[in-house]
């Protein structure tokens, strides 16, 4: 029985604590860590910049973005699609040219085979006599030098224009036996960077936060921990309070207000407009220190495994 100590090194078994410590020091094994409250963005922060939104917009799935950041993301994706489309067209033209050249070669080979088949066969008496050329010392030396140069060039990777591009055997596309890249048509659809669902500009909904009336005019809005409130119940909004966005006006209200007041008659409390189920968008909040708040509070980093 070994001693029950973390730093005990005289035991005959490799303890769990020693394995965890060695894995942390050596960089092997999966590194798992639970995210705390300080590592999760606030409910009113952009999902791209992780900063408080200046012009907040929300998607149909409830993810909040700064309008400038998400429009810049969409423009970047469209530019990337245009670049990939040009590359696809270039590769497709190369493939078409290669197929046309291969078809021409096959047609030429068939023509030559047909022409050779139509030629009369020669008998041994009509065959031309071959002249025998005796090699001289000078010609034999030149042939040996040419053979040596050809043998050197066949095993060298620094000739035939490859002196500036060495093969990378750890990359499949750079291997000497790797073929040409296949032309694959790019996908024109732009996806949300968080939910990976199709995203369009017209699907972005403007969000209107109601400022908290606390009478504190000395501190800036960003410096305050409690910045916004529900316009109906005047409850303070935070990561611990589930919120929803009303699509017609963009007001952010608490989910408790939605369940107890709005869903009874499906009428907007501020404008008296009729609401539908799709007009209530659940806002995806960041998270707190409690496990029940979010499911994505566990961060994992996969590394090479330490085998013992």
- Model pTM score: 0.64
Residues 216, 80 contacting (CB under 8 angstroms): no
Q: What is the pLDDT of residue 208?
A: 92
How confident is the prediction for the chain on average, in pLDDT?
A: 79
* 3-state secondary structure at position 236: strand
b/e for 25-41, b at 16 or more Cβ within 10 A?
A: eeeebeeeeeeeeeebb
In angstroms, the CA 241 to CA 243 distance is 6
pLDDT at 1 over 50: no
| Kind of pairing between the strands at 243-246 and 252-254 | antiparallel
* Tens-digit pLDDT profile for residues 170-204: 666 666 666 666 778 899 999 999 888 999 999 99
Sequence-ordered list of residues with C-beta below 8 angstroms from that of 300, at least 6 positions apart, any chain:
30, 31, 32, 33
| pLDDT: which is higher, 61 or 181 | 61
290-296-299-303 Cα dihedral, nearest 10 degrees: 150
What is the torsional sign of CA 79, 82, 86, 87? Answer: positive
CA 106 to chain centre: 42
pLDDT at 229 over 60: yes
Closest CA relative to residue 207, chosen from 70, 41, 44: 44
* Tens-digit pLDDT profile for residues 263-301: 988 999 888 889 999 999 999 876 555 555 555 666 677
b/e for 180-198, b at 16 or more Cβ within 10 A?
A: eeeeeeeeeebebebeeee
Q: How many CA atoms lie within 13 A of 217 on its CB side?
A: 1
* Tens-digit pLDDT profile for residues 100-116: 999 999 999 998 888 88
In angstroms, the CA 199 to CA 63 distance is 11
In angstroms, the CA 114 to CA 116 distance is 5
Q: What is the pLDDT of residue 223?
A: 64
Tokens of residue 220, six digits: 């800036």
CA angle 179, 85, 166 (to 5 degrees): 35
């Amino acid at each position: 029985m070994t001693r029950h100590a973390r730093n005990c090194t005289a035991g005959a078994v490799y303890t769990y604590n020693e394995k965890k410590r060695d894995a942390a020091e050596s960089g092997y094994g999966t590194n798992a860590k639970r995210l705390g409250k300080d590592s999760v963005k606030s409910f009113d922060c952009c999902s791209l910049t992780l900063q408080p939104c200046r012009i907040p917009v929300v998607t149909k799935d409830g993810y909040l973005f700064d309008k400038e950041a998400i429009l810049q993301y969409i423009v970047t994706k469209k530019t990337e699609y245009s670049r990939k489309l040009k590359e696809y067209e270039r590769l497709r033209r190369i493939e078409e040219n290669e197929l046309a050249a291969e078809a021409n070669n096959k047609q030429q080979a068939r023509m030559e085979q047909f022409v050779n088949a139509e030629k009369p066969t020669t008998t041994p008496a009509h065959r031309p006599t071959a002249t025998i050329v005796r090699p001289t010392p000078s010609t034999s030396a030149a042939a040996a030098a040419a053979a040596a140069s050809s043998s050197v060039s066949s095993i060298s990777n620094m000739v035939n224009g490859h002196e500036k591009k060495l093969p990378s055997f750890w990359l499949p596309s750079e291997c000497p036996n790797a073929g040409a890249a296949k032309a694959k048509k790019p996908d024109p659809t732009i996806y949300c960077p968080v939910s990976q669902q199709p995203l369009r500009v017209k699907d972005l909904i403007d969000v209107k936060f109601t400022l908290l009336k606390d009478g504190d005019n000395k501190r800036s809005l960003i410096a305050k921990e409690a910045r916004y409130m529900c316009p109906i119940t005047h409850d303070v909004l935070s990561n611990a309070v589930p919120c929803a966005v009303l699509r017609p006006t963009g007001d952010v209200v608490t989910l408790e207000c939605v369940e107890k007041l709005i869903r009874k008659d499906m009428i907007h409390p501020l404008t008296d407009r009729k609401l539908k189920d799709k007009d209530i968008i659940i806002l995806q909040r960041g998270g707190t220190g409690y496990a029940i708040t979010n499911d994505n509070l566990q961060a994992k980093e996969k590394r090479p495994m330490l085998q013992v």
